[in-house]
């Protein structure tokens, strides 16, 4: 289990690190310095190769929110050949949590014997009326944490309270949540529970790609998700929709290398899965992690914000561990409250539009006063567009 825990921590770091490099702008962003000049040159060479090879319209869906942010920070769309268009996918976990789920988070958070321990990105996501941040301002006991395991120390320090963790994330978040639940059970910590809101990307991408009007030729995904997902799921997507698929890292170099891989596949008429990060995760360790996750969770149909109920796209806590499922503990069910009418997140996260196409973008909806979740977190495509592009730019369908 030690090696499995090490991989859990690595995946968690990949999920929550701030990949804030700006290769071409020549400036510091976040806590990172501009990459060394040799790496910049490698990126320029990859761009030159893409310009040579793109000889037809090609649309690539970028499924990962972090990769989308790196693309926007580096204004990559402006540097790519004109025929190569990048659209966003549903790769921001906070952005796809339905309002009805947030309502449950809020209902539990305001209970007098509850401490809600939440990651920062979830706090401001709007429900149908309120968010965790708004009820915290009114006195609800809400603590910001960085990892699920932080909840256990909080539970031990507050034996008279129930510590509740809204588990929002994609499949890469599942190992750390599963490990925390198993550790709580092992230590006999009974004043801790989880609101399960972990979703799987492949079934949702599958549903999105069914729309022939999208005309997607390639799918770019990130390595921290593929390390947990069944890689065969991406191979099946590539074959089912006759598209190129590439899994790569978060750096600009990785993204450009992934785009080049897919352009080469498309030119050859291939529909295949290229995992450029396989050396980072051994199949044995990945399988061990999956077994731990399956010990705690099973897969079920799940509601996504703006996309409806998607078959086999979410994790539910098993009945044997019902003590750690907050919805069962507090006898609360999720409602189907979803998008606000003035929010176009559903179209944006399914590749049908880009943020400037939304009439609220940059006007009624800003990071300081967001309407939809895509404007709240730095993995949201609207947030990235607001900070790193000119309002009004659009490459929408």
Tell me, yes or no, whether 308 and 161 share the same domain: yes
Q: Using alpha carbons, select from 206, 259, 198 the residue that is nearest to residue 235.
A: 206
Q: Is residue 2 in some structural domain? A: no
Per-residue pLDDT, 343 = 84
Boundary residue ending a domain (260, 278, 296): 278
Over range 84-105, report the average pLDDT. Answer: 93
Give the model's pLDDT for residue 252. 93
Q: What is the pLDDT of residue 170?
A: 93
Same domain for 185 and 322, yes or no, is yes
With cut-offs at 50, 70 and 90, classify the pLDDT of residue 10: very low
Average pLDDT over residues 297-302: 96
Residue 224 structure tokens: 């921290």
- How would you label 203-212 residue by residue, b for 16+ Cβ within 10 Å and e otherwise? bbbbbbbeee
Give the per-residue pLDDT at 324. Answer: 98
pLDDT at 30: 45
Residue 240 lies in a domain: yes
| Residue 248 reports pLDDT greater than 80 | yes
* Contacts of residue 25, Cβ cutoff 8 Å, sequence gap at least 6: 34, 73, 74, 75
Task: Determine the Cα–Cα distance for residues 309 and 341; give it in Å rounded to an integer.
Answer: 19
3-state SS string for 297-354: EEEEEEEECCCEEEEEEEEEECHHHHHHEHHHHCCCCCCCCCCCCCCCHHHHCCCCCC
CATH code for the domain in which residue 299 is found: 3.40.50.11740
Tell whether the model's pLDDT for residue 55 goes beyond 70: yes
Per-residue model confidence as pLDDT tens digits over 153-202: 999 999 999 999 999 999 989 999 999 999 999 999 999 999 999 999 99
Q: What's the CA gap between 344 and 349, in Å, rounded?
A: 9
Q: What secondary structure letter does DSSP report for 196?
A: E
Does the residue 334 lie in any domain?
no
Q: What is the pLDDT of residues 97-149, one digit of tens each?
A: 999 999 999 999 999 999 999 999 899 998 988 999 999 999 999 999 999 99
Q: Are residues 192 and 306 in the same domain?
A: yes
CA 313 from centroid of its chain's CA atoms: 13
For the cut 90, the answer to whether the pLDDT of residue 264 exceeds it is yes
Contacts 24+ apart (CB under 8 A), 280-285: 280/223, 280/227, 281/7, 281/223, 281/227, 285/3, 285/4, 285/7
| 193 and 139 in a common domain | yes
Helix/strand/coil for 228: coil
Whole-number pLDDT of residue 392: 38
Note the pLDDT of residue 339: 61
Whether residue 55 is found in the same domain as residue 115: no
Angstrom CA distances, 50 to 26, 40, 79, 263, 396, stand at 22, 15, 10, 8, 21
Residues 272 and 171 reside in one and the same domain: no
Query: Do the domain assignments include residue 397?
Result: no
pLDDT class of 284 with cuts at 50, 70, 90: confident
Cα torsion angle, 24, 25, 28, 31, sign: negative
E strand or H helix that includes residue 310 = strand 308-317
pLDDT at 81 over 50: yes
Into how many domains does the chain fold? 3
Question: Does residue 195 sit in the same domain as residue 101?
Answer: yes
Q: 106 and 154: one domain?
A: yes
336 pLDDT band, cuts 50/70/90, is confident
Give 112's DSSP letter: T
**Statement to judge: residues 302 and 194 lie in one domain:** yes
Task: Based on the fold, state whether residues 233 and 375 are members of the same structural domain.
Answer: no
Q: Are residues 42 and 189 in the same domain?
A: no
Interatomic CA distance for residues 382 and 388, integer angstroms: 10
Q: Is 162 a domain residue?
A: yes
162-170 vs 273-275, strand pairing mode? unpaired
Is residue 288 in some structural domain? yes
From the number of C-beta atoms within 10 Å of its C-beta (0-12, 13-18, 19+), residue 268 rates as: exposed
* Cβ–Cβ under 8 Å, residues 32 and 242: no
Q: What is the pTM of this model?
A: 0.85
Give the pLDDT mean for 259-264. Answer: 96
Q: Residue 24 belongs to a domain with what CATH number?
A: 3.40.50.11750
Give the domain range for residue 209: 11-93+202-278
User: Does 131 share its domain with 233?
Assistant: no
């Amino acid at each position: 289990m030690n090696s499995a825990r090490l991989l859990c921590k690595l995946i968690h770091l990949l999920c929550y690190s701030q990949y804030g490099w700006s290769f071409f702008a020549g400036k510091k962003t976040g806590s990172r310095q501009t990459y060394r000049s040799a790496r910049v040159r490698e990126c320029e060479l990859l761009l030159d190769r893409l310009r040579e090879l793109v000889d037809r319209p090609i649309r690539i869906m970028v499924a990962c929110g972090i990769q989308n942010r790196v693309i926007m920070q580096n204004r990559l769309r402006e540097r790519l050949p004109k025929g190569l268009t990048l659209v966003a996918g549903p790769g921001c976990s906070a952005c796809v949590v339905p309002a009805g789920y947030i309502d449950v988070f809020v209902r539990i958070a305001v209970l007098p014997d509850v401490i809600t321990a939440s990651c920062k990105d979830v706090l401001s996501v709007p429900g149908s009326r309120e968010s965790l941040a708004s009820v915290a301002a009114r006195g609800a006991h809400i603590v910001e944490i960085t990892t699920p395991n932080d909840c256990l120390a909080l539970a031990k320090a507050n034996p008279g309270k129930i510590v509740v963790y809204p588990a929002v994330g994609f499949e890469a978040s599942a190992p750390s949540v599963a490990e925390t639940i198993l550790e709580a059970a092992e230590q006999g910590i009974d004043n801790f529970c989880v609101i399960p809101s972990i979703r799987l990307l492949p079934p949702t991408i599958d549903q999105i790609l069914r729309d022939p009007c999208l005309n997607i030729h390639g799918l770019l995904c990130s390595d921290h998700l593929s390390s947990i997902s069944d890689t065969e799921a991406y191979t099946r997507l590539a074959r089912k929709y006759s598209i190129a698929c590439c899994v790569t890292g978060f750096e600009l170099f990785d993204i450009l290398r992934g785009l080049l891989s897919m352009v080469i596949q498309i030119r050859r008429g291939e529909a295949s899965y290229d995992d450029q990060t396989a050396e980072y995760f051994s199949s044995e360790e990945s399988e061990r992690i999956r077994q731990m996750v399956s010990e705690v969770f099973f897969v079920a149909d799940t509601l996504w914000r703006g996309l409806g109920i998607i078959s086999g796209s979410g994790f539910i806590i098993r009945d044997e561990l019902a003590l750690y499922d907050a919805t069962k503990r507090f006898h609360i069910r999720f409602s189907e409250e979803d998008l606000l009418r003035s929010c176009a997140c559903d179209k944006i996260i399914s590749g049908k539009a880009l943020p400037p196409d939304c009439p609220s973008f940059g006007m009624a909806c800003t990071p300081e006063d967001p309407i939809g979740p895509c404007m709240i977190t730095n993995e949201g495509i609207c947030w990235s567009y607001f900070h790193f592009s000119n309002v009004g730019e659009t490459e929408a369908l």
